[in-house]
Structure 1
């Protein structure tokens, strides 16, 4: 006898407002802790957060400030092309990451962290944060917004667009970072990508 549940289409239950808020808070928290781990080890990664971290090494400006400043034009672009809801959520995420980075030293302190562990653990946490945000209609901003806009307007593959942006940011880190931290920064970017490749798949979280 055929199990009727095996032939019925999965039931898609929309997220409640409470679930969205909780997921965005957790996503922001993962991003902040991951960035703190990378910063403590002197590493960078891809994306706008990675670029802000890199700039904090060469400019007398905190990462939180550069991250928010870099995101402003992309938030305007998101509002114009991707809709108000996405833009507002992404703006809240940007403000949350900046605020979390400022508050982090008052909430916890990492005296020492192994650079390889920081690259893998920090990158994985950032990947989990990006995944949580994506599942609930928000983004980190920056290159992610640009990738979505180019996908809609020109049909460009967002994964490839993001990869190109990450490569450019990591290439910019070559004259700033010593050789080993640069290699470990590549590991952190790979850890982020691994999380998204493994878990950010359409249809994985539908049904019971």
Structure 2
């Protein structure tokens, strides 16, 4: 076998790894469904998590405003940041994802009411699902706003993993929940937020995932 016949098979075609429109549509659909389910379990468990999702859950328990509205309002400033730093495509996909998660939170409450959910299961399963949902969205050029956008920007500029950035900001949000929630719930929420951040830190690495 000659070098001429071997070499073409070793050449990596980046164009072939780009996501098609259909792949992006199904990826964002799956990502939002999974992420929204995770947040729904957290809400049902009466817990919080990190980032703006955790802030929205916290405000949901501290006020009478509906979660879907709080989620949208909290993430709006970060959508502006996305437009400034990440471009129109990322911003549009992120806005769609935010709206989908907000809408699904309402749908889950009506279609799948949860009672008697064990807090430990709700927190850990909720954070795992939310983390996997975010990971899918990241890989299809979207997010659900908030500190996820900040984390992605830092990763692109400095190489510092998005998961570790999010973990740092998560600590701030979770500690703030001491103003509203009992300390056992806050401790459980803190462990859950770490679970989500580890999922992102270990799986969302520059160069590991070649699809775009």
Classify the TM-score, shorter chain: 0.7 to 0.9
Q: Is residue 34 from structure 1 mapped to residue 38 from structure 2 by the alignment?
A: yes
- How far 1:177 moved relative to its partner? 1.4
Conserved? CA contact 2:49–2:193, under 8 Å: yes
2:125 is matched with which residue: 121, 124, 134? 121
**Deviation of residue 21 (structure 1)?**
0.6
Name the CA distance, whole Å, in 1 between partners of 2:23 and 2:168.
33
How much has 1:103 moved relative to structure 2? 1.6
Q: TM-score, normalised by structure 1?
A: 0.88
- Distance in 1 between residues matched to 2:11 and 2:173, nearest whole Å: 43
**CA distance in 1 between partners of 2:152 and 2:194 (Å):** 21
For these two proteins, the number of residue pairs brought into alignment is 204
Task: Give the RMSD, CA atoms, in angstroms.
Answer: 2.4
1:180 to 178, 184, 200: 184
Alignment correspondent of 2:25 = 21
TM-score of the pair, normalised by structure 2: 0.86
Q: Could you tell me which residue of structure 2 aligns to residue 8 of structure 1? A: 10
Contact 1:28 1:93 in 2 (8 A): yes
Q: Partner residue of 2:57?
A: 53
- The question of 1:139 aligning with 2:140 is answered no
| Cα distance change of structure 1 residues 199 and 103 upon mapping to structure 2, 3 Å threshold | same
Q: How does 1:97-176 map to 2 (within 5 A)?
A: 97-149=101-153, 155=158, 157=160, 158-176=162-180
Runs of 4+ displaced beyond 2 Å: 7-12, 146-153, 155-164, 201-207
Distance 2:204 2:18 in 1: 17
Distance (whole Å) between structure 2 residues aligned to residue 196 and residue 161 of structure 1: 10
Shift of 1:67: 0.7
Q: Distance in 1 between matches of 2:155 and 2:200?
A: 18
Question: Structure 1: which 5+ residue stretches go unaligned?
Answer: none
8 Å CA contact 1:139, 1:145 repeated in 2: yes
Q: 1:150 to 1:198 in 2, by over 3 A?
A: closer
CA contact (8 A) 1:10 1:206 kept: no
| Structure 1 counterpart of 2:83 | 79
Cα separation, 2, equivalents of 1:67 and 1:143:
13
